[in-house]
């Protein structure tokens, strides 16, 4: 389960994992991953693989889940189920020559393919102690759909990867305290 910082935590986990993977590409100044909204030009060197969160959506397959009930020793309470989020990222190489950019793309594909589910020790921040797992899927977009994303951020089209991360659970603050049953009475049915 995650608090309000869960979206930032997922982005930071991706950035850290990609930076570690890119360090294996070598060179005097190995490429790094960077969270970037692409509103300003990307500063290089070093070569960078930008991680841009371009869409947050609710996961329709996780709607209508039952309320979450607290377990003893906590006081009895019922909480609205967490909001299940889909996070969509644009992963884009910048700087270096074309071969370096293609190697960065290839390395990112390996990271997300080899470990398509991140859980447990792979997670940090508000996700570290939970039982959540992040599932990474390469999103199949047409060239037109990709062009629209680049058009929306007012940049010329570049080779990039589109990944969807599901399910990121955002805890609800809607908690209803419940009373313990301390006694009960049975009313007998009236007999004629």
**What's the pLDDT tens digit per position in 8-67?**
888 999 999 999 998 877 767 888 899 998 888 888 788 899 999 998 888 887 777 766
Q: Strands 117-119 and 83-94: what pairing?
A: unpaired
Residue at 189 is within a domain: no
* The CA-based dihedral angle spanning residues 122, 124, 130, 131, taken in that order and rounded to the nearest 10 degrees: -20
The answer to whether 112 and 136 have CB atoms below 8 angstroms apart is: yes
Residues 6+ apart with CB under 8 A from 45: 29, 95, 96
pLDDT band at 190 (very low <50, low <70, confident <90, very high): low
Number of structural domains (the chain) is: 1
Residue at 125 is within a domain: yes
**What's the pLDDT tens digit per position in 66-124?**
666 666 666 667 777 778 888 999 999 998 788 888 999 999 999 999 988 888 777 77
Residue at 71 is within a domain: yes
**What's the pLDDT tens digit per position in 146-180?**
888 888 888 888 888 999 998 777 766 655 565 65
CB-count burial class (<10 Å; 0-12, 13-18, 19+) for 139? middle
CA nearest neighbour of 141 among 55, 60, 59, 61: 55
Residue at 190 is within a domain: no
d(CA 35, CA 33): 7
Q: Which long-range contacts (CB under 8 A, 24 or more apart) does 33-38 make?
A: 35/11, 37/153, 38/90, 38/92, 38/153, 38/155
Residue at 52 is within a domain: yes
CATH of the domain at 135: 3.30.2000
Residue at 63 is within a domain: yes
pLDDT for position 189: 63
Q: Which domain holds residue 67?
A: 6-176
Residue at 81 is within a domain: yes
């Amino acid at each position: 389960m995650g608090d309000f910082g869960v979206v930032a935590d997922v982005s930071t986990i991706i950035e850290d994992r990609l930076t570690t993977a890119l360090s294996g590409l070598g060179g005097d100044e190995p490429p790094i991953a960077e969270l970037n909204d692409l509103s300003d030009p990307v500063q290089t060197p070093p070569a960078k693989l930008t991680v841009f969160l371009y869409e947050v959506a609710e996961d329709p397959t996780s709607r209508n889940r039952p309320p979450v009930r607290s377990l003893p020793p906590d006081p009895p309470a019922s909480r609205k189920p967490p909001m299940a989020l889909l996070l969509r990222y644009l992963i884009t190489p910048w700087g270096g020559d074309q071969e370096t950019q293609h190697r960065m793309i290839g390395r990112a594909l390996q990271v997300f393919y080899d470990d398509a589910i991140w859980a447990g020790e792979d997670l940090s921040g508000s996700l570290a102690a939970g039982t959540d797992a992040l599932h990474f899927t390469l999103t199949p977009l047409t060239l037109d759909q990709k062009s629209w994303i680049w058009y929306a951020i007012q940049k010329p089209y570049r080779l990039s990867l589109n990944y969807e991360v599901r399910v990121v659970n955002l805890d609800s603050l809607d908690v209803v305290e419940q009373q313990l049953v301390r006694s009960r009475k049975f009313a007998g049915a009236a007999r004629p």
